[in-house]
Amino acid sequence: MNNLKLSLLKKWELDSELSFVHGSVLLPDGTAIILTTGEKSDWGKFYLLVLSVDGIKKIPIEYAETSGRDYPVLFRYGASFGLIISAKEVRYYSGIHSSPEIIPIKNNSRLRGSIVPEKAQQRYFQNISDSKTIPVCFENEVYCGDARYFALLEFDAAAKSAEWKCFSTIDKKAFIHQDDRCGEAPKIDSIKISDKEIYAFIPGDSQTSVNKWGMNYYALARISEDGKVIKKLIESDDLKKDGKKGGINGCFTDSQYVIMTPLFKTDDWKGKQKVFSLNTREYSDITFPRGMSKHKLENISGEICLTSFYDRGLKEIALCNCANLLYSI
């Protein structure tokens, strides 16, 4: 097993008034963009944090929420970035100092009307793409904060066009330890498009709280746009056998690596994160810089890693070097 050793480049100390890192992008020039929320007086309000050579900039995201879980989605688009708002518009930022350009999203099909259902709610879970197709996680019909649907957005900044192309679930029967007592589709932690292939990390299909009871399984799969499982790269054992609790959450990055985060500190990994390579199918341990053992790895791009430290509020954000990793996407 390899070891990912991080060396600190820059660390920002925050005032704990913000919540978790919900999503992030790392731009080619080393700028980091983070989607987060207020933690205290502005609880639930969404912000972008821009961390660059100019320092740290906090940008409020203003929009009329359609529900209590109407979350914006952050995505990278080449050397720029954007937000998807309420599944109805893209706010495209050509640079960190530019105002966003508003581009409406088309949502119709000649054969079946709306592609994304009107009551579907997008989730801010990490999405990665190296193309003009942006994968987005959704919840529909049952609203518990989990994503069990995904959609593909065709976005062209130059043409100023955005259009939903599909809305799908992942094939439940493809997984050995799926719960056949319920009809709920597998959950989706994170989703990625690389070299025209779609990857999804699946934290089981349990309807109960995984933080309390654990997952029934987890998997990493290559899927089609209609949710068929083409290949399983990882599939865990039955995590509930022998009355044990377990589970791994997965987060794709702007690299070939998937960040694997255990649900519990009592598992075989002792609660410590690892990364998994989509190219070599190998795991790597993570060694954080001195004094940063409580940080979490959030994203990787090239030789740059983004980490965060949360303790009753977002306390620290850091950029680290990880030159010992292979960094093709």
Per-residue model confidence as pLDDT tens digits over 228-254 = 999 999 999 988 887 788 899 999 999
Question: Structural domain of residue 154, as residue ranges?
Answer: 2-321
329 — pLDDT class (breaks 50, 70, 90): very low
* Residue 139: inside a domain: yes
Q: SS3 string of 83-103?
A: EEECCCEEEEECCCCCCCEEE
CATH number for the domain including 80? 2.120.10.30
* Residue 327: inside a domain: no
* Residue 329: inside a domain: no
9-43 pLDDT per residue, tens: 999 999 878 999 999 999 999 999 999 999 877 88
- pLDDT value for 328: 43
The bridge status of strand 149-156 relative to strand 296-301 is unpaired
Q: Rounded distance, CA 76 to CA 236, Å?
A: 30
Stated as kind and residue range, the H or E segment containing 211 is helix 210-213
Q: Rounded distance, CA 266 to CA 141, Å?
A: 34
* Residue 326: inside a domain: no
Nearest Cα to Cα of residue 278 among 152, 175, 194: 194
* Residue 251: inside a domain: yes
pTM assigned to the model:
0.94
- pLDDT value for 260: 97
Residue bearing the bigger pLDDT, 61 or 145:
61
* Residue 285: inside a domain: yes
Residues 6 or more apart whose Cβ sits within 8 Å of residue 233: 199, 220, 221, 222, 278, 281
87-145 pLDDT per residue, tens: 999 999 999 988 999 999 999 876 667 999 989 999 999 999 999 999 999 999 877 78
In the chain, the percentage of residues whose pLDDT exceeds 70 is 97
* Residue 52: inside a domain: yes
CA angle 273, 309, 192 (to 5 degrees): 50
Number of domain units in the chain:
1
* Residue 270: inside a domain: yes
319 burial (CB, 10 Å; 0-12 / 13-18 / 19+) is: buried
**pLDDT above 90 for 179:** no
Structure token digits, residue 159: 């043409």
280-303 pLDDT per residue, tens: 999 999 999 999 999 999 999 999
